[in-house]
Amino acid sequence: MLTQVVPRSDSRTEEEVEEFRGVEIENGCRPFRVTLRTCGNTAALGGLMSETQDAIQRIVDGTSWDQFCDALKEAGSVILSEGAPSDPLTRAEGWRYLTRLTRAALESFVEASDPQAPELRRTAHETIKMGMDNPDNIYLSAPIRGSFRYRMSGTRGTVQYLGFGTQKGNYGATGSLETTGYLDANDLVLGSDGSFDIVVSCEEQPGNWLPMAPESSTLIVRQTRCDHATEVPAQIRIERIDEPSQPRHLDPRRIDQALRKSTGFVRGCATIFETWAEDFAEHTNELPRFDPERAHRAGGDPNIAYYHSYWRLESEEALVIEVTPPECDYWNFQLANHWLESLDYRYFPVHLNPFTAKLSDDGSVRVVVSRENPGVDNWLDTCEHAFGTMCWRWIGASEHPQPRTRVVPLEELRR
């Protein structure tokens, strides 16, 4: 039975729908209080009522869980796809990859999905990896909604690079994660103690402002370090400011939706980046510039020039990469597996940046990639892999030089 219905009478778009509370639906035992959205007319409200009843029924009879498990199983088809490698190591990493994506999805869509009371959480880190995650980065994200207003507060810290972005879509629903607003810490107005406040909204604000769009659903923070041991991360919190930052109570409809979003994300994310890996293999052992528009659609940082590719080496071969870094905020090079997961940077040398690399007297840098260390500077370990993906990044660069690559016998490099 309805205790309150307020049909919309204006002409707002579906992306601008408002929430209404106070709806009770019989679920077979007792009325259950849920939240509905109205889209402008009673027909739409009736459709939403039916969808809500269906969602509650799926929760009650277990269909939601069955569909979650079935969809998660179906995501395994990405690992077994025709273009994916079938060797034991890559397959093992593939199954681990799906468990990692599942953990990230559940954390994002089940545990931390409330844009009314967002929290910044790390959903990509040392043991959850995706999309060529940068070993130098601390990734933070929070759920947002374009019709709300938020404030981020904190202290700048001393990390080499700090960027804030808003995004729309997700890999499961739209196959993209497009940037809808971006703010570089170089443009922040800071207090004398390094403190800052940033308003996050669709409407332009004075001072520090991070734009959103009506469709924005995610806020992301990238903190990039050169010296992990000494640089101090920024301390950041987020709160809603147009209304009280009050978490919603759990309701069955949102759990039904969250489970479906989670499996959509797992399959969508795995599919997108497996496709990328196959594309990268077309220019194996080279490092061409990655299409900026494609990077944008996937949620890439607009200040970064990416050079994505694939590498493949015999046991007695090495990949040599040479380039002269331009003036820039930061650069790095990293190795990853077929699934675009960074190799284990906790224990092995698999990436370089301006702090860890040794440059030549002329300012150039030479990177050597191989299974065995030939005794040279800037050696990166393939970690028993015979192939994988790789990425070079320039952030805030004055120019974007093309890294030069060549494959040589390992013996040629041994001292």
Query: 24-46, pLDDT tens digit by residue?
Result: 334 444 444 444 444 455 555 56
CA dist., res. 332 & res. 135, Å (int): 9
- Of residues 164, 168, 128, the one with CA closest to residue 297: 168
Q: What is the mean pLDDT of residues 154-162?
A: 98
Q: What percent of the chain has pLDDT over 90?
A: 85
Q: Measure CA 211 to chain center.
A: 19
The answer to whether 323 and 404 have CB atoms below 8 angstroms apart is yes
pLDDT over 60 at 16, yes or no: no
- The domain that holds 213 is classified in CATH as 2.60.120
Please check whether residues 288 and 407 belong to one and the same domain.
yes
In a domain, 141, yes or no: yes
**What pLDDT does 50 receive?**
81
Number of Cβ within a 10 Å radius of residue 306: 20
- CB-based contacts of 250, cutoff 8 Å, min separation 6: none
**What pLDDT does 8 receive?**
35
The token pair that represents 371 in the structure block: 């299974």
**What pLDDT does 116 receive?**
95
In a domain, 157, yes or no: yes
Please check whether residues 28 and 103 belong to one and the same domain.
no
**What pLDDT does 143 receive?**
97
Entry pTM? 0.89
Please check whether residues 146 and 216 belong to one and the same domain.
yes
**What pLDDT does 279 receive?**
98
In a domain, 276, yes or no: no
276 or 16, higher pLDDT: 276
CA dist., res. 280 & res. 287, Å (int): 9
Q: What are phi and psi of 72, to 5 degrees?
A: -65, -40
Please check whether residues 162 and 197 belong to one and the same domain.
yes
Q: What are phi and psi of 47, to 5 degrees?
A: -65, -40
- Of residues 51, 243, 48, the one with CA closest to residue 145: 243
pLDDT over 80 at 358, yes or no: yes
Per-residue pLDDT reduced to its tens digit, 370-386: 999 999 999 999 999 99
- Given 240, 261, 294, the domain boundary residue is 240
Please check whether residues 98 and 52 belong to one and the same domain.
no
**What pLDDT does 10 receive?**
37
CA dist., res. 304 & res. 25, Å (int): 49
CA dist., res. 295 & res. 154, Å (int): 29
Please check whether residues 134 and 159 belong to one and the same domain.
yes
Cβ density class 340-359: b for 16+ within 10 Å, e for less:
bbbbebeeeebbbbbbebee
Q: What is the mean pLDDT of residues 89-100?
A: 98
What is the number of structural domains in the chain? Answer: 4
Amino acid present at 325? P
Please check whether residues 167 and 228 belong to one and the same domain.
yes
Please check whether residues 397 and 331 belong to one and the same domain.
yes
Confidence band for 123, pLDDT divided at 50, 70 and 90: confident
Please check whether residues 163 and 196 belong to one and the same domain.
yes
In a domain, 39, yes or no: yes
- Given 61, 83, 99, the domain boundary residue is 61
In a domain, 230, yes or no: yes
**What pLDDT does 44 receive?**
56
For residue 220, give Cα distances in angstroms to 269, 274, 410: 17, 23, 41
Average pLDDT over the chain, rounded to an integer: 90
Please check whether residues 301 and 355 belong to one and the same domain.
yes
CA dist., res. 93 & res. 98, Å (int): 9
In a domain, 277, yes or no: no
- The domain that holds 408 is classified in CATH as 2.60.120.600
**Dihedral sign of CA atoms 211, 214, 215, 216 in order:** positive
Please check whether residues 13 and 95 belong to one and the same domain.
no
In a domain, 248, yes or no: no
pLDDT over 80 at 49, yes or no: no
Range of the domain at 15: 1-61
In a domain, 246, yes or no: no
Q: What is the mean pLDDT of residues 353-360?
A: 98
- Of residues 344, 307, 264, the one with CA closest to residue 68: 264
Please check whether residues 293 and 384 belong to one and the same domain.
yes
